[in-house]
Copies of this chain bind each other. A is one copy, B any other.
C-alpha cells in the first residue's frame, strides 16, 4: 500500500478514551429496561434478551483477566469514517484481557459469516489501518442476517474458530439483526454472544442512551469543508446560486449539521416538509422568495442545501410513489407491453384522480423517470431524481414568471453539487477516532463480562474523552414494531430530526437572517494536529442536543 505523508503521520495517533476503562474496570448494572414502544410484542419476540439492565463500566480495583477467547467482527452496510478504529479498539481490548485472544474479521459484510470467509486480524494488519478511513480492512456488504439458516451456518464457523462473540458494526437494521441473532444464539444455548456498534454517517441511529452514531462527525465535517469553499466562491464571484444535495435519504441530520456549520442561505429539512405537509410548489416558492429578496439587495448569488431524501418527505409525492409502486406491481405484465411513449399516459389513466393530478404537475423529466425507470424489485427509483437540479430548474421557471409580472428583478444562474461518497471514507476526525476506538474497547469489555444483545455505548461525548461514560445498552430497549414489506417487524426506532430539538430550533431561529444576509462560515478541512479548539470539537448537533 502506497501511503501519503498524512497517512504515515496520522497512524501514530493514540486515540483518547474514557478514563474509566483504562486499566482495571468493574461492571455496574442498572435497573431492567423496557422497549421504547410495543413492549408486549418485543418482549414476546425476545424472551431471552428483553428487559436486561443498562450496564456501565467504572474504575475497578484489580485488572480483569480471563480465559482466552476469540472474537469475530463484521462491517455491515455503507462505509462510515472510524470503522477501522472500532476494530483496533476491539483488538487492543481483547489483547489487554488476554494476549492469546484472537480477532477474526469476516470478509465482505455479514455474508462472510454465512459463507465462512474470514481472516485473522493480526497486529501487523490492524496497525496498518489505525486512524484511517474506509472499511477496506475486511470490506463491508449489505447481506441481511435474518434467516435461521444463516444463523446456523454462522454457528458452524464460530465453533470451528472458537469464537465466543460476534461484533456487528452497522446501522439500525444491522443492529436489529444483531439482536435477533443474539436472541437466537441464546435461545439455542450456543454460548455465543453478539454485540452491536452504532455506525452510520446519516446520524439516524441515536436515542437517549446512544448519543450519536460514528462517522456522522467526520462525514459532515468533510461536507461542511467543501460547502464552505463553495460559499466563499459564491460570495467572491457573486454570480451563482449553488444547489447542494447531501447524502441522507431517511433523515436530514447531515443537512442540518452542515447548515449549522456553514450558515447557508437556504436549508431544506425533510422532517419539516413532512410535518408542515408542504408541496413541491411550496418549497420552490420558499426558495424563489429568498432569491428575490437577495436580488432586491443586489445579491444574485447564494447557497441552498437539500437533503437527498427530500422528495420522499413531501406527503403528496410520498402517496403518489406508494400508489405508483402498487399499481405498477399489479399491472406489470401489461405495463411491460406498453410502448415507451405511451407509458406516461398509461400511468395517468391507472392512478387515482388525486395522484394522477400530482403526477401530471411534475416536471416532464421527473414524471418520465418515475414511469420508465424501475429498480430490480419493480419499484420506482426516487433516488435517481436529481433533486438539486430539479429544484434549481423549477425555481428558475418561477422567477422567470415573476420577472414578467414585475415581481422580481435579478439574474439567476445555478450550479449544482451532490456530496456523499466524498465523506463516507474520510480518515476519522479526532472525535470519531476517539469515539470509535472507545466503542471497540467497550465492546471487548461487554464480551469479557458475558453480555449479549447489547450495543456498545459511550456517552457524555461533548466533554473531554477522559470524562466519557462507557457501558452497554440492551438493543431491545431501542425497539418498536414497524411495518416492513407489509409485515410488522421489531426494529430499532429510527431517529429523525426533532423539530422541537435543540439543533433544529437553533437553525429555525437563525434561518431568516442567514437567508437574507451573507453570513457564511467557512469551517475548512478537518485538522488532526492543531489547537484543541480546532481539532477536538464534536458536531454542533451533539452540542445543541446536550445543552
Q: What chain B residues lie within 8 Å of A523 (beta carbons)?
A: 4, 6
Residues 1 to 28 of chain A near chain B (Cβ within 8 Å): 1-10
Q: What chain B residues lie within 8 Å of A225 (beta carbons)?
A: 525
A534 touches B (CB below 8 Å): yes
Known contacts A9-B533, A79-B237, A222-B229; is A427 also within 8 Å of B522 by CB? yes
Q: What chain B residues lie within 8 Å of A424 (beta carbons)?
A: 229, 233
A519 touches B (CB below 8 Å): yes
Q: Contact: A2 with B519, CB < 8 Å?
A: yes
Partner of A530, one of B9, B222, B235: B9
Which of A131-139, A396-404, A463-471 lies at the interface? A131-139
From A1, A229, A263, residue with most partner B Cβ within 10 Å: A229
Q: Contact: B421 with A230, CB < 8 Å?
A: yes
A521 touches B (CB below 8 Å): yes
Known contacts A79-B237, A237-B140; is A524 also within 8 Å of B7 by CB? yes
A103 touches B (CB below 8 Å): no
Q: Contact: B522 with A4, CB < 8 Å?
A: yes
Q: Contact: B522 with A226, CB < 8 Å?
A: no
Partner of A134, one of B4, B5, B232: B232
Quickly give the copy total for this chain: 2
Complex formed: what's the CA distance from A226 to B261 in Å? 19
Complex formed: what's the CA distance from A528 to B534 in Å? 11
Known contacts A9-B530, A528-B527, A529-B531; is A233 also within 8 Å of B79 by CB? yes
A236 touches B (CB below 8 Å): yes
A238 touches B (CB below 8 Å): yes
A94 touches B (CB below 8 Å): no
Task: Write out, one digit per residue, whether chain A residues 227-267 have a CB within 8 A of any chain B CB (1) or not (0).
Answer: 01110110111100010000000000000000001010000
By the criterion of a CB under 8 Å from any partner CB, how many residues of chain A are at the interface? Answer: 61
Complex formed: what's the CA distance from A180 to B506 in Å? 53
Partner of A229, one of B1, B133, B261: B133
Q: What chain B residues lie within 8 Å of A136 (beta carbons)?
A: 232, 235-236
Known contacts A2-B519, A236-B134, A236-B139; is A527 also within 8 Å of B529 by CB? yes
Complex formed: what's the CA distance from A506 to B317 in Å? 53
Q: What chain B residues lie within 8 Å of A524 (beta carbons)?
A: 4, 6-7, 10, 426-427
Complex formed: what's the CA distance from A225 to B525 in Å? 10
Known contacts A263-B2, A527-B527, A533-B9; is A425 also within 8 Å of B236 by CB? yes
Q: What chain B residues lie within 8 Å of A233 (beta carbons)?
A: 79, 134, 421, 424-425
Known contacts A4-B524, A235-B134; is A229 also within 8 Å of B425 by CB? yes
Q: What chain B residues lie within 8 Å of A144 (beta carbons)?
A: none
Task: Write out, one digit per residue, whether chain A residues 411-433 have a CB within 8 A of any chain B CB (1) or not (0).
Answer: 00001011001111111000000
Min CB–CB distance A299 → chain B (angstroms): 12
Known contacts A134-B236, A237-B79; is A521 also within 8 Å of B421 by CB? no
Q: What chain B residues lie within 8 Å of A230 (beta carbons)?
A: 421-422, 425
Q: Contact: B79 with A236, CB < 8 Å?
A: yes
- A residues contacting B by CB (< 8 A) are 1-10, 78-79, 108, 132-136, 139-140, 222, 225-226, 228-230, 232-233, 235-238, 242, 261, 263, 415, 417-418, 421-427, 519-531, 533-534, 537
Given pairs A9-B533, A233-B421, 20 additional interface contacts (CB within 8 A): A4-B228, A4-B522, A5-B531, A5-B537, A6-B530, A8-B533, A132-B522, A134-B522, A136-B235, A139-B236, A140-B236, A222-B229, A229-B424, A230-B425, A236-B425, A415-B421, A426-B524, A525-B525, A527-B530, A529-B534
Q: Give 7 closest A-B pairs by Cβ, nearest first.
A: A529-B530, A525-B525, A232-B425, A134-B232, A6-B524, A135-B236, A233-B425
